[in-house]
Structure formats: C-alpha cells, structure tokens
Structure 1
Amino acid sequence: MRAAIFTLSTLVAGSHIPAQAQASQSTDAAGGQLAPVVVSASRFPNDPAFPPVAATVISAEQIRDAGIADANEAIRKLGGVYGRQSSAGPNDFPLDLRGFGTNGDLNMVVLVDGVRISENELTTPLLSSIPIETIERIEIVRGGSSVLYGAGATGGTIQIITRRPQANAGHGSLVGEVGSDGQRAGRAFVARGWDNMSIDASYAKSHADGYRDNGKSNQENFSTTVQWFASDWRFGLRANIARADYGLPGSLTQAQYQANARQSTKPLDNGSYDNDTVTAFLERRFGAVDVAAELSHREKILRGNYFSTASRSVANIRSTQFSPRVRHVLQVGALKNELIAGIDLGEWSSATNASYGNSDAAQRSKALYLRDEIEFERNARVAAGVRREIFNQSSASGAYGRQSAVNAWDLQASYAPLRMLRAFAKAGQSYRLATPDENGYTALPGGQLLKPQVSHDLEFGATLGQAERQLTLRWFRHNVRDELYYDPTANFGFGANSNLDPTRHRGVELEGSLRVSESVLLNATWQHIDAQFSAGANSGKQLALVPKNTLSTRINWKSGKHSADAGLRWVDRQRMGNDFGNSCAKMPSYTAIDARYAVRVSAWEFAVAGTNLADRKYYSQAYDCAGGAVSGIYPENGREVKFTARYDF
C-alpha cells in the first residue's frame, strides 16, 4: 500500500508535498528501481501537480504481498470493489463501482495503458488475461468520467498501468500453484532492457475442476511487449493472446441449493473464447507539449454449446480503436495550467451464427473532448471538461440503423485549507450506449432502438492525513435517465432489455489506511448505497442486485523473510434480480475471510493461501423470485486452499 499512499498524499499535503509523494518508487523482483509512480487520470503520465482527486491506487507490491493471481482479484480484494460470482467463464467476476447491479461492469470503463478492454458486448472485461507480473499499479477513480473515457464511465474507471521499460536491466520469474478443487497453474515472465529498447514476455496456463459439477475451466494467456524509448519519447507494440474453455453449470433453485450447492442443472453445457489484441502506442514530448496515441485491434470468437436447450452459437467480434491526444502544460508564477484535447475513434462489429438464428450488428463512433485544469498556489485546483460523441448503430438482421449524438461535461474543484486536509467537489453528466446485444432483444416496435442512458453526477468529499495515515470520505449521487437494464417485468412478463423509469444511485464511501508499525499496515473500504427508482410505477422501490452496504478490510504484516496478509469481506442483503416490486425476501448477507502466509528463501518464495476460510455457504447471484420461491442462484465457492512456489531471477 506504500506506493498508493504516497501518491494519494499529494492530495492533502498542501504546499509541503513530501519528496516521496512526488517520486514514489517501488522495487522489481530483481531489486532494481522501477520508474516513479505517477497517476494517469488525464490519459497522460501525470504531472505530479495534477493527480486525480481521491483515487484508489493498488501497487505491484500490494499485489505481490497478497499473492494475487489476476487483476480482477486485486481490484476486489485490495481495491474494495464489489464483485459477484461469474455465471459464465473463469475468474472474471462482474464488478460494480456505484450500485448498478447486474449491469455494474457496463457502467465503468476498464483500460490497460489507456486502451479500453471494456467490451461492447454483454460480457465482463477479461481482466484475468492481463499478466499479473507486468502490472505496475491499478488506479480506481470512482464517479462519472465520460469526458475523458466516453460511454459507460458513470460508475468510474479502472486503469491498469503496466511497467515502464528499464534500460540495461533484466529480470524474470517462474510461478507454480496447486490447490483444492483441482487447481493447478503455472506462470513465466521475463523482461530485458538495453540502451533504448526493451522486450518482455509472459505465459500463463491454469486449470480448475471447479467448486460445482461442470464448473471446470482451462485458461491460457500469452503477452509480449516491445518498446523503444528515450528521455522524451516512447514507442511500442503489444500483443495479447487469451484462450479459455469452461463449463456452464447453470443456476439452482432454493431447494437445489439447500440440498447440494455443488450440483449442476446443466451438466453438459460449455463455452469458450479466443481473444487476440494487438496495440501500437506512442508518446512524444516537445517542450511543454505532450503527444500520445494508441491504435488497437481486437478479434474475439465466443462460443456457446447449450445441450440443455439443444442450441449452440458462435460469435465473431472485431473492434478497432484509435485515440490520439495532446497536452500542454503552462507555468505562470504560482499558477499551473494543463490543457488536454483528444479524439476517440472506434469501430465494432459482430456476426453470430446460432442454431436459433443468425444475427449481425455494427457500431461506429467518433468523439472529441477538451479538458482544462488550473492549480493555484498548490492548494487549490479547478477543472472543466466537455465531450461530444457521434455514433452509428446498425444491423441487417435487426433491420435498424441510427445515428445519434451524446454529450458529457464535468466541473471539478479541490481546496486544501489545512496541510492535512483537502476537500473536493465534482458535478457533471455521463452516459452509456446500449450494446448491440441489448438492442437485439427489446420490447420496442421493429426498427426502434434503446435510448442512450444519461446520468447527472454530483460528488463531495474530503481526504484527511498524509503518507501512511489517511482517511477519504465521499458522498455521491447519480440521477439517471433511461437507465439501460434487463427488465424481467417487460414484454408481458417475458422480460426484455429496456430503458427504465428515472433512477437514483446515491451513497457514501469511506477508505482508510493506517501504518500501525514498521511491519503492520491496515486498510479498509466501506460503501453504503441507496439505489432506487425515483419516478414511475416503482417509485421508491430499491433496484435489484445492489447490496446496501459492503465492507472490505485487510491487514498486511512483513518481517524479514516472512510475510502474511489477511482480509475480511462483508456484503449486506440485496434484492433478487427480478424483484422490481420489492415483494420478495432479500438475499442473505455474507462474510468471507481469506489469508496468506509466505516465506522467502534466497530467490525462492513459498506460500500457502486460502479463501472462504470459514467455508461459509452463500451466493451473490439470484435472478428470480416468484411467490416466495427463489431460483436463478449461482453459488459462491466453498473453502479453497492453494500452495505457491515462486522463483525470481
């Protein structure tokens, strides 16, 4: 947590910013110094004067100390972000930053070094395919961020920052894991740098039989990056190849869950994906002007074999992104100004061949954004930004075509009245577009499409403390018009993707960290959310699959060659997925505990880790409740233990 706290301490240090906050450094596996940790909320490696207000930063050191195997797990355990059990595929739990229920991961944007991996289909971003050894840090910025990041950023953004190239250095690691429920995995990573060039490569393969019958999964990932660099420029090429196949055990009724939570109602259903991404990136500095761009192309094949309904499907998906941008930083006395302008261009298409009918869809978008931020006397900051995006959605099989435009804006301000206190406020408008999958199944007349979702966002907060004693409090509200959601009451009770009546998501978030001693660090995140209909037939009713409260706490201990890490996660009760009328009993709350102990012997590290150590029986997904009978349950895993051996070189 040290690197994260040093970065965040710049928010509260006033005119006396500690040296470590300006250039915090972490250490790689070979003991060499990595590049300074700076925050990149402006879509550029930030000037230390402009860190994002009240961001959550997860460092590579934290990830290592907790024995985290993938980015999705790191965000949930270390970032305090709520996630629920995946109903399809391995490891990638759907995440929810601000109480958007089953569409939580569609209301935030996930990026890797500035390139969106949030997908334009109804699937969760493949965070588990990112090599964990390449991650330098993860930045979580909560709240509306559509000005810089476009559609789907109402809940916030999660940015994965990979390691910068290191000249004349080399290191690597080998990792092997075995565990309960047939877990076994291996990872290899190597990186080498020369005067003006570096290359890294990683490979990972894993298998698990799964907690449930037909819950097996296999995953294989390969990634490599080649970079050329100097003091004022960087250019690189990155390739990511991900393969996975998995069983689809299906949901359970309450009676089935009580009798045997491990059973499968669909013992032969399965799915798989091939996901390949190639990215070229460039950064160049010309005095006070920075120029950057990414060009990324992704191809994905998504397969489903549903023996339970005698059906199958194969979707071929392609997407291309191009994001050039420029930044100018001007210093005039005590005033510092940062102006950013950029363009986002995107193309996405899908062709699905299925036994129940073929379909196609396409989407093109182009956006222009401007953002300006001013810092006064290092204790006050004001920022404003605007974005306009034009998009075209079409489908030959769906017989529709539409061009529309949406706008986003935001105003932000922060002020440090005291050296140890910084207050902040933010207001704006964010948006989300319906995915082609959502437009493919609605109750609208032929040729009509779902409206864009628009949210008016408001946030107030403060950060108290600095360095390793810090507390951040936020109050937020999102008034949402035409929220995009699957409404099980629509289409004469058969359900359909819909624009809901007006909704409101508001709540409080509290994050804290405390260095108890040189060897002990405590962290905690608490979130309270009230998500409800604010008008219409269900006015005042709570939205489904949004826990009222969540709490995540962790303690980390390090002493010499030994280290230990433990966490507790508590999730409050929440409504079933179809309970728009709030007539059913809520899903039970639950508590889960995980822990890890590791010892280092020369270049080796040996560790034992466990999740759900109390072997609690619980679930976070339940989609149906009628007359008090609950069904659509996806059980969480029981107790799991794994052993890890790691060799660094």
Structure 2
Amino acid sequence: MFKPALAAVLVASCCSVYADDIEHISIYANRTATAQQDVLASVTVLEHDDIVARQASDLPALLAQLPGINLSRDGGRGQTSGVYIRGGNVGHTLVLIDGVRSGSATLGYKSLAMLPLELIQRIEVVRGPRAAWYGSDALAGVIAITTRRSNAVELNVNIGSYGQAGTDLSVSQHVEQLTLRASAGVSRADGFNVRKELDSDSDGYKQKFIKVAADYQTELGLWTAQADVNSGYYEFDTSYGNEDAADTFNRTYLLGWQQQLGRWQHQAQLSRNLDSEASYGPDSRSPFITARDEFNYQAQTSLSTSLTLLAGVNWYQEKVDRSSTPYEKTSRINRALFTGLHYQLNALKLEAALRRDLINQYGGQNTWQLAAGYQLTEQWLLRASRGTAFKTPSFNELYYPGYANPALKPQESVSDEIALRFVEQDFSAQLAWFDRDVTNLIQGVERAENVLLATISGVEFSVQQQWQQFSSNLAYTWLDTENKSSGLKLERRPKNTLNWRGSIVEDKWSAFVTVDYQSSTYQGMYASVANLGGFTLWGIGADYQLTPALTLRAKLENLFDKNYQTSAGYTTAGANVGISLRYSPG
C-alpha cells in the first residue's frame, strides 16, 4: 500500500525528491521509495546534513569517500575527474540529476568536476547494475543527485587555499498550494599548476549556477517545473595541442506530474538537457554541444498485500547540435518498456525487473535483474542478485575522426552479488562480494576497440557505528580486474581502498578526522608512469554554532602535505585549508 507521507515525493526517474521529508529512503534502486534496509542492493544515501558535515571540497571528493568508489584527478578542483564504481569505466555509471539522464552524448558520460556541490540536496549511489530499470550506462551503478530543495533561507560563504572563494543563496516561498524555490551561487579558485613540465601557470576555475523551481498541488495531481543553468570556466594542461582552457554551459528544463488514482500511483516527466563544452587556446576553439530530450512515465500498484507491480515507458533522443569536427551521424533515439515486481512474505523478499530498449542504431537490447533476500533474524539479512546491463558506444567512439570505430558493439555485462547485512539502532555493517564479466569492453588510445572480455570481482566491507556523541564510518574495498585479451589490469583501479571517518558531536560544536588510503594503480601502457604508488591522506575538520542561525566550519585536507598522484603526470593538491560560514534563520 502507498503511504500518504510519500504522496508528495516525486520518485524514481520521473520526478525530483522531497529529501527533507524522508530519512534513509532509497528512491532510485527500484524506481520507488523503499526503506534503505529493505533494498536488495548496495545503496548509500547522503542527505543534505550529511553532505554539509563532510565538508568535501567538491562532488568527486565527496563520492570518493563512499564504499566501492575510486577517483582519478587530472589536477585539482575544476579539472577532469574520473569516478569509478566497482571497477567499471567512467562511462559505466549513469548519472541522474533530479531524475533526468545527464551527460554529454559525445563523451558518453557526465563530467562531475564542474557540478557544484553547493547545488546538491541529496545523493543516492546504487552500486551494481541497474540497466533493467534505466537502460544504457547503468552498468556499474547509478549516481542519483537531487538539487537544492531548501524550505528556508540559507546563505553560505567560503574561502580557502589556492584562492578558493564562493557564495551561494537558497530561498523558498509557500503560497497555499504553490511552493517556489530558487538557488544561486558563484565560486572560483586560482588553483595550482597541474603539470609543471608543460607551462608555469596556475590552473584554476570559475563557476556560477542558478536554479528556479515551482511545485503546485491540485486535484489533478502534483505538478512541478524546474530550470537549472550551470556555467563555468576551467584551465588545464595537456601535451596534445595548444588548447589549455575550456568553457562549460549546462542547462536542464523539466516538467513533472504525479497523481494517486485509486490503487495506482502515476508519475510522468518531460525534460530537456543541454551539455556544452568548448576548449580553446591561442589559435583554436573546439566546441561540442549535445542535447537530450527525454520522456518518462511509470505506474505502480499493489496487487496484493505481498506483491507490488511497477511498469513504465522511457523515450529519449540524443543529438550533436554543434561540434568542431563533422560526425557521420548526429542523432539517435532510444525507446524502452520496463516492468518490475516486488514480493515479500514473512522473512522472504524477491525482486525482478525486465527492460526492452529499441535503439535505432543497434536494434533491441534486453536487460533483466533478479534478487532474493532472507531475513535471518530481525538484524541479519542475507541477499543475492544477478543482473545484465549494457552501454551503447558514444558519438566520439563511433564517429570522431581519427579515433572512431563505426563497427563498435555495445558493451554488455553479467553481474552477481552476494551480501550479508546487519542493522540495529546504533550499528550497521555489510559484507558484499561482487563479480562482473564485461564483453565488448571499449578500450583504446588512438582508436576505440572492443575488448573480448574483461573480468571484475571484489569485496566491500562497511561499518557505521554510533556511541553516544561519537560516530565512526569505515569502508574497505578489495578489487581485482583483468583485461582477458592482454592479461593486464584495467587502468586506474586500485586493488585496495579504505576510507574512515570518525566524528564527535557536542551541543554547539562537532569535529571529525578522516583517513583515506589507496594502494598502487596501473596507469596503462601509454602513461608516462605505468604504475603509481599508493598513498594515505589525513584530514581534520570542525564546526561551531555561533548563534542558532550562524555556523562556522573549518577543515584541513591532506594534513601532512602528501605528494601523490591518481592520474600519471598530474599534480594534486597539497595541504589546504577551507573555511565556511552558513546563515540560516530557520
């Protein structure tokens, strides 16, 4: 049965989420609101208070603190960052922003380096395939982001090392059935020189964003409209050509609707996403502008007290609107049907999902997901799952001159997971084993090629503990990857990763310590250094409530000024300080 408290929640990939009203709820794992401990998948949810408390410098740095995620950086904040979930490629993760499929059609993925952390209200990370619900790209996992939905006035200002400075403001207004919200912000940094052997300048960034949204409740349902605009500029160093700066411009527009009609809950969303990036130098400029129009509809009902059905349709068209080089083809359309069942009887839980995608370039793709869980005791849950996934090649991989390979096949995978979870009031832990076989994996430097087979397996262990005012979060991942054609490891995937965060919360202040460890990584046969050494980074931070409305926060990252790299040849930030002030009158 549907709970009335969820009637105001625009869930799954159809509408945005009222994250302030729910705690520890997974929205995207099964396209419906489900208590996190009841989801038969590995899910991490960060609400706004969690995000703020961690004081991460940017979104990639925040994600790198979570289980099963590795990060490679081509410099500092603003420069290209690669996020790898459970050993998958960067493009093996689907990024949803307010339920909208996001990313560049030419690159084949969403660049997260220039997505403002200040704009984010909630993050949900689903580790493991979700193509049976979302189609292409959800091969290794899903990162679902909900943008700011503040119910009060909030003003933030921050300064830090390397010339970092920024400010953002969120406001809202309620008028009977109408709710209006707006957020805006700017930030910048001088940065540091990310490749000293190429030039002597610092590589910084500038950014500004604005979001406006309206929700209107009527007898015909809850309607929402939203517009986001995010523009930026960043500098970089590269040995290819003389272009060393880029402008970015991203816009998203959406209309959403949801309504409860009898036993059926209906949701629909229409969206348009434009992704633009133009790199340039003294004598050249290379613009790439892609657009994606998308429509989602889903309906859900309870067939019995034990059985729930969800079904829907998904349509989207991707276009290369403008590029510095001509592409043989500039658009494609994806149409899909999906359905899923959830069954629960006493201690047994069963889930199944099936999706059929029709891509005008490749024809039909079928994906499925099966999961079973058994509640051994009130605290212990044993679960197992298997699922298939695929990713269509990007426009660059298929048509970019000099690199393209029109004969590329979609990447496909079969994934298994077995996990044991323990949950009680102040303590939770999970041990998960996962295994994935990827066929037709796309690799290559000079030309994109399908690799016959790549294998990825690993173990995740995570523990969250609360004892009075103390808390501790530990995440460890062991990863083993192999390109079966060459016998080499997959690039930039460390075998061992460990993240720990300990904190104390008192009446008016709190403090934390972080430790992040990563073992050595293989960088590839064409990298300047084939293997990078492992490293351990320490960080500390604190906040103090000056008044009920005013909070001061400070952090020190890379406490011992460790000299390390996650991408061969690219310098990373040394010891650096950040200070922020938050004003929220309630």
Query: Scaled by the length of structure 1, what TM-score is found?
Result: 0.80
Report if the CA contact (8 A) 1:92-1:124 is conserved: no
1:408 corresponds to which residue?
Answer: 367
1:619 corresponds to which residue?
Answer: 565
Which runs of structure 2 are paired with 1:532-543 in the superposition (5 Å)?
Answer: 532-534=482-484, 536=485, 538=486, 540-543=487-490
Give the Cα separation in 2 of the matches to 1:188 and 1:304: 30
Superposed displacement of residue 164, structure 1: 6.4
The answer as to 2:581 corresponding to 1:645 is yes
How much is the aligned-residue C-alpha RMSD, in angstroms?
Answer: 2.8
Which runs of structure 2 are paired with 1:524-603 in the superposition (5 Å)?
Answer: 524-534=474-484, 536=485, 538=486, 540-578=487-525, 586-602=531-547, 603=549
Q: Which amino acid aligns with 1:36?
A: I
The DSSP-based 3-state class of the residue aligned with 2:468 is: coil
Q: Which amino acid aligns with 1:429?
A: T
Which runs of structure 2 are paired with 1:491-510 in the superposition (5 Å)?
Answer: 495-510=446-461
The answer as to 2:337 corresponding to 1:368 is yes
2:110 corresponds to which residue?
Answer: 125
Deviation string, structure 1 residues 510-532 (Cα, Å, up to 9, x no partner): 111111x2211100111111110
Give the Cα separation in 1 of the matches to 2:542 and 2:536: 21
Give the Cα separation in 1 of the matches to 2:82 and 2:392: 18
Report if the CA contact (8 A) 2:246-2:279 is conserved: yes
Give the Cα separation in 2 of the matches to 1:444 and 1:186: 41
The DSSP-based 3-state class of the residue aligned with 1:273 is: strand
Give the Cα separation in 1 of the matches to 2:555 and 2:202: 24
Superposed displacement of residue 501, structure 1: 2.0
Superposed displacement of residue 155, structure 1: 0.7
Give the Cα separation in 1 of the matches to 2:298 and 2:80: 31
Superposed displacement of residue 594, structure 1: 2.1
The answer as to 2:317 corresponding to 1:329 is no
Report if the CA contact (8 A) 1:70-1:127 is conserved: no
Q: Which amino acid aligns with 2:540?
A: A
Counterparts in 2 of 1:512 and 1:232: CA distance versus 1, 3 Å: farther
Superposed displacement of residue 360, structure 1: 5.6
The DSSP-based 3-state class of the residue aligned with 1:250 is: coil
Report if the CA contact (8 A) 2:58-2:77 is conserved: no
2:141 corresponds to which residue?
Answer: 156
1:291 corresponds to which residue?
Answer: 266
Which runs of structure 2 are paired with 1:47-66 in the superposition (5 Å)?
Answer: 51-66=39-54
2:253 corresponds to which residue?
Answer: 278
Give the Cα separation in 1 of the matches to 2:77 and 2:54: 24
2:359 corresponds to which residue?
Answer: 391
2:169 corresponds to which residue?
Answer: 188
Deviation string, structure 1 residues 613-632 (Cα, Å, up to 9, x no partner): 2111111112xxxxxxxxxx
Superposed displacement of residue 291, structure 1: 0.8
Deviation string, structure 1 residues 559-584 (Cα, Å, up to 9, x no partner): 0111112211111111123369xx97
1:140 corresponds to which residue?
Answer: 125
Report if the CA contact (8 A) 1:72-1:92 is conserved: no
1:422 corresponds to which residue?
Answer: 381
1:382 corresponds to which residue?
Answer: 350
Q: Which amino acid aligns with 2:275?
A: K
The DSSP-based 3-state class of the residue aligned with 2:136 is: coil
Superposed displacement of residue 79, structure 1: 5.5
The answer as to 2:440 corresponding to 1:467 is no
The answer as to 2:305 corresponding to 1:346 is no
**In the alignment, which of 434, 444, 453 is matched to residue 411 of structure 2?**
453
Counterparts in 2 of 1:87 and 1:436: CA distance versus 1, 3 Å: farther
Report if the CA contact (8 A) 2:517-2:536 is conserved: yes
Q: Which amino acid aligns with 2:225?
A: L
Which runs of structure 2 are paired with 1:308-319 in the superposition (5 Å)?
Answer: 310-319=283-292
Counterparts in 2 of 1:321 and 1:357: CA distance versus 1, 3 Å: closer
Deviation string, structure 1 residues 10-34 (Cα, Å, up to 9, x no partner): xxxxxxxxxxxxxxxxxxxxxx994
Counterparts in 2 of 1:524 and 1:645: CA distance versus 1, 3 Å: same
Report if the CA contact (8 A) 2:19-2:47 is conserved: no
The DSSP-based 3-state class of the residue aligned with 1:496 is: coil
Deviation string, structure 1 residues 469-526 (Cα, Å, up to 9, x no partner): 11111111111110122x24xxxxxx211111211011111111111x2211100111
Give the Cα separation in 2 of the matches to 1:407 and 1:339: 19
1:254 corresponds to which residue?
Answer: none
Give the Cα separation in 2 of the matches to 1:573 and 1:75: 20
Superposed displacement of residue 287, structure 1: 2.8
Give the Cα separation in 2 of the matches to 1:421 and 1:548: 28
Report if the CA contact (8 A) 1:352-1:359 is conserved: no
Q: Which amino acid aligns with 2:497?
A: T
1:634 corresponds to which residue?
Answer: 570
Superposed displacement of residue 439, structure 1: 0.9
Report if the CA contact (8 A) 2:511-2:540 is conserved: yes
The DSSP-based 3-state class of the residue aligned with 2:203 is: coil
The DSSP-based 3-state class of the residue aligned with 1:323 is: strand
Q: Which amino acid aligns with 2:31?
A: R
Counterparts in 2 of 1:302 and 1:425: CA distance versus 1, 3 Å: same
Report if the CA contact (8 A) 1:216-1:246 is conserved: yes
Q: Which amino acid aligns with 1:616?
A: K
Give the Cα separation in 2 of the matches to 1:86 and 1:563: 33
Which runs of structure 2 are paired with 1:62-77 in the superposition (5 Å)?
Answer: 62-68=50-56, 70-77=58-65
1:218 corresponds to which residue?
Answer: 206
Structure 2: segments with no counterpart, 5+ residues: 1-17, 194-200
**In the alignment, which of 203, 226, 230 is matched to residue 238 of structure 1?**
226
Superposed displacement of residue 283, structure 1: 1.5
Give the Cα separation in 1 of the matches to 2:233 and 2:404: 37
Superposed displacement of residue 247, structure 1: 0.9
Give the Cα separation in 1 of the matches to 2:190 and 2:562: 20
Report if the CA contact (8 A) 2:67-2:477 is conserved: no
Q: Which amino acid aligns with 1:578?
A: M
| Most deviating of 598-607 and 57-66 | 57-66
Deviation string, structure 1 residues 601-647 (Cα, Å, up to 9, x no partner): 1111112112212111111112xxxxxxxxxx122111211211111
Superposed displacement of residue 134, structure 1: 6.1
Deviation string, structure 1 residues 168-222 (Cα, Å, up to 9, x no partner): xx51111111111111111111122233221111111011011213411101111
Give the Cα separation in 1 of the matches to 2:116 and 2:322: 29
Deviation string, structure 1 residues 42-65 (Cα, Å, up to 9, x no partner): 223337895353311212221122
Report if the CA contact (8 A) 1:58-1:78 is conserved: no
Counterparts in 2 of 1:297 and 1:444: CA distance versus 1, 3 Å: closer
Give the Cα separation in 2 of the matches to 1:591 and 1:49: 31
Superposed displacement of residue 442, structure 1: 8.2
